[in-house]
Chain A
Amino acid sequence: MPGGIGLDVGGVTRKIHSKERGMRGLKRSWRRHWQLYLLILVPLAYFIVFKYVPMANTIIAFKDYNVVDGVWGSDWAGLKQFERFFNNPVFWPLLRNTFLLSAYVVLASFPIPIILALALNEVRLKFFKSTVQMVTYAPYFISTVVVVSMTILFLSPRLGLAGHVTEFFGLGSIDFLSNPDYFRHIYVFTDVWQTMGYSAVIYLAALAGIDPTLYEAARVDGASRWQKIVNVDIPGILPTAMIVLVLGVGNVMAIGFEKAYLFQNSLNVSQSEIIATYTYKVGLLSADFSQAAAIGLFNGVINLVLLLGVNAIVKRLTGNGLW
C-alpha cells in the first residue's frame, strides 16, 4: 500500500516492541526509500564533520593542545585550562560585560517589536502600513560591517553628524566611540534599529491568527481600541512573545562576536570585551587553542543550562515553551 503512513513509524509510536519493530521498520523503509537515504547522506556528513566533530574537538579543553600531537595525541591536563580561566583577572569583568550587554539587548529588543506590531495592526491605510513595514524591515538585511561603519561615521567627533548636533546644543564634540560608557547603548540601539521590523513580523503573524470572534465580542462590549489591544491582542500574542523571550534569554551568553568586535577599540575595551571576542583573541591571535576551547565550552554549557532552565520556568508559568 503506497503512502502507508504510520506503518513504518511503528517503531516510534509503539514503544513496547520498539527494537524489533524499529529494525523491521528500517529494513522496510530502506527497501522502499533507499534513494532518500542516499540523498540524506551528504547533508548528514556535513552535520557530522562541521558540527559534531567540533563538539568532539572540545576535548582539547581538558588537554594541553599542541599542533604536533593533534587533538587526540596531546597530553591530558585535567581542569587546568578552566582553573586558568577562572583565576584570570579578566574572568569576572568578561562575565559581567557579556551578561550586562546581552541582558540589555534582550530587554530592549523585546518590547519594541511588540509595540511596532500592535501599532501596525491598528492601521487601516494599506499603503502606509506596508511602507512602514518595508522600511523598518530593511535594516535586517544590511551587513553588520555596514551598520557599524554607518554608526562610526555618524558618531565620529569632528566629521560626523552627531558631532554637529552636539555642538549645536552647546555640548561640545563628544567622542561616543572611545568612551566605554556609551558602548552598550550604541550596541543596543543599533541592534534594535536593525531587528525591530524583522521581529515585528512574527508578532504580526500571531496577531493575524487571533480568533476573529474575540474582536467581535470586544466590539459588542463597546471596547475602545486601547481596551481591545490590552484584552485581546496582547493575550493573543503572549505565547509567541514567551517563545521569543525564551530564545532571547537562552542565548544570553551566546551574544554575537561580530558587532562587539567591530565596535571594539583600545579605548572602550573595558566594556566591549565579551567572552566571544576574548575567545577569538586567545584562540587565534595568541594561538592558545586549549584555553580558547575551554572558554568556549564553559560558555556553551552555561548557555545550554540557561536555555533549558528558562524554558522550564516559562513552561511552568504559562504552559508555552519551546518543547
Chain B
Amino acid sequence: MVSSTLEERPTGTRERRAPKMASGLRPTRIKDPVGDRVFMVGVYILLTTFLLVVLLPLIYIVASSFSDPQAVSSGQVTFWPIGFTLEGYQRALSDNSILTGFGNSLIYTVAGTAISLVLTVAIAYPLSRADFWGRRGITVFVVFTMLFAGGIIPTYLVVQNLGMLDTRWALILPQAIGVWQVIIAVAFFRTSIPDELYEAAQLDGASDLRFLFSTVIPLSKPLLAVIALMYGIYQWNSYFDALLYLRDPSLYPLQLVLRNVLILNQAAPGMDAAAAFERQQLASLLKYSLIVISTVPVMLVYPFVARFFNKGILVGAVKG
C-alpha cells in the first residue's frame, strides 16, 4: 500500500504537463492514503472544537438576553431563548446613563477616528517617500515610542497640564496616533503608489499636497478603510482612558458605563420595587442585553475588517 501511494499521489487537482498523461493516463481523482484521511478527520474535529469554543458562549449570551430571567438563572437556557422577552432590552434602552454613554461613544468614535486618520496619513505619507530628508530619523523617533513609554502618571500629568482632564479631548488626543497603523500605512504607500505616478505628477507641476489629495488618497481607499476601522473599534472598546481622565458621568463612554453596571454592579437601573432575588435576576437579564447592545455596532463593521484583512492588505504590509 505504502509504495503504491508514491505513484498515486498526483491527484486530479494538478494537471501533469507530460504529454502521455493527456490521453489514457489522465489521473482520475484518487483517494488520499488512509493515514492522511484519518489525519484530516482529526483536523476537522479540532477545527470544529475551536469553532464551538468561540461560538457557543456568544450564542449563549444572545439567547439569554432574550429569555425569561428565571429561565436564565435556573440554567434552562442553553443556546435558544426560553420564554422570549424583550424586557432586558427595554430596560437597557430606557436608562439614561446607558443612552448617554452610547451617544458619547459615538462622538468619541467618529471624532477620534477622523482625527486619527488625518494625523496618520499626515505622518505616514512623508515617511513613505524615499526622497524625504529625515525619513529615517523620524521613523526611529516614532518607533521608539513602542519600545519605551513614559507610563500612566507622567502621561496623566501632560493631560492635566493641558487642561484636558474631564473634557472630551482627553479621550481623543492622547491616543490619536497608533505607531502600528503608521507602519502599515507607510508600507502601503511605499508599495502601492508607483513612483512613475509621482514623476508624472511632478512633470505636470503638481505639488506634493495636490498629489497626495488627487492621487495617493483615492488609490489608498482600502488602506484608509482598514485603518479607520482599527481606530474606530479601538475607540469604541476602550475604557481605560475614560477611567483615568474623566470624573463627570455625563462624559462617560459606553464601556465605562458598562463596567459600572456589569462589573461593579452599580445602580442597575429601574429595579427599586422588585424583591431581592428577582432584582438580581432582572439585573443579570439586563446585563446580557447590554452586552449584546454594546457589541452589535462592532459586529456590524467586523465583516468589512475581516474582508480587508483576508485580502492580505495588513499582513502584506507587515511582511513588506
Measuring CB to CB, which residues of chain A are less than 8 angstroms from any residue of chain B? 2-9, 11-12, 22, 25-26, 28-30, 32-33, 35-37, 39-40, 42-44, 46-47, 49-58, 60, 71, 115-116, 119-120, 122-123, 128, 130-139, 141-146, 148-150, 152-154, 156, 158-159, 161, 163-164, 193, 196-197, 201-202, 205, 208-209, 219-220, 222, 224-226, 257-258, 262, 276, 279-280, 283-284, 289, 292-293, 296-297, 299-300, 303-304, 307
Contact = CB atoms under 8 A, between A and B. Distances in A.
Contacts of B315: 201-202, 205
Given A159-B72, A293-B153, 9 more contacts: A33-B132, A51-B150, A123-B43, A141-B302, A148-B262, A149-B291, A153-B61, A225-B39, A283-B156
A149 B263 contact: yes
B130 interface: yes
A258 B237 CA distance: 11
A186 to B, nearest CB: 13
B153 A279 contact: yes
B284 A40 contact: no
Given A39-B126, A139-B54, A296-B151, A146 B131 contact: no
Contacts of A202: 315, 318
20 contacts: A7-B131, A26-B134, A29-B133, A43-B120, A44-B123, A50-B155, A53-B158, A142-B295, A143-B236, A143-B239, A150-B291, A156-B284, A205-B316, A205-B318, A224-B33, A257-B240, A292-B153, A297-B151, A300-B148, A307-B147
Interface stretch (B22-30, B136-144, B220-228): B136-144
B236 A226 contact: no
Q: How large is the interface on B (under 10, 10 to 19, 20 to 34, 35 or more residues)?
A: 35 or more
A84 B230 CA distance: 41
A120 B147 CA distance: 33
Interface string B186-203: 000000000100110011
B contact face: mostly helix, strand, loop, or mixed:
helix
B209 A39 contact: yes
B263 A293 contact: no
A57 B136 CA distance: 26
A152 B162 CA distance: 38
A119 B43 contact: yes
A30 B132 CA distance: 8
A136 B54 contact: yes
A224 B39 contact: yes
B80 interface: no
A201 B125 CA distance: 26
Contacts of A300: 148-151
Interface in B28-62: 32-33, 35-36, 39-40, 43-44, 46-47, 50-51, 53-55, 57-58, 60-61
Contacts of A154: 57, 60
B154 A5 contact: no
Nearest to A250: B147
A40 B177 CA distance: 12
B208 interface: yes
A141 B305 contact: yes
B305 A304 contact: no
A58 B151 contact: yes
Which of B61, B135, B151, B236 is packed against the most chain A CB atoms within 10 Å? Answer: B151
Interface of B: 2, 5-6, 9-10, 32-33, 35-36, 39-40, 43-44, 46-47, 50-51, 53-55, 57-58, 60-61, 72-73, 75, 119-120, 122-123, 125-127, 129-136, 138, 141-142, 145, 147-158, 162, 173-174, 176-177, 195, 198-199, 202-203, 207-209, 212, 233, 236-240, 244, 255, 258-259, 262-263, 280-281, 284, 287-288, 290-291, 294-295, 298-299, 302-303, 305-306, 309-310, 312, 315-316, 318-319
A60 B174 CA distance: 20
A224 B35 contact: yes
Contacts of A159: 72-73, 280-281, 284
Contacts of B203: 2
Contacts of A50: 155, 158, 173-174, 176
Contacts of B134: 26, 29
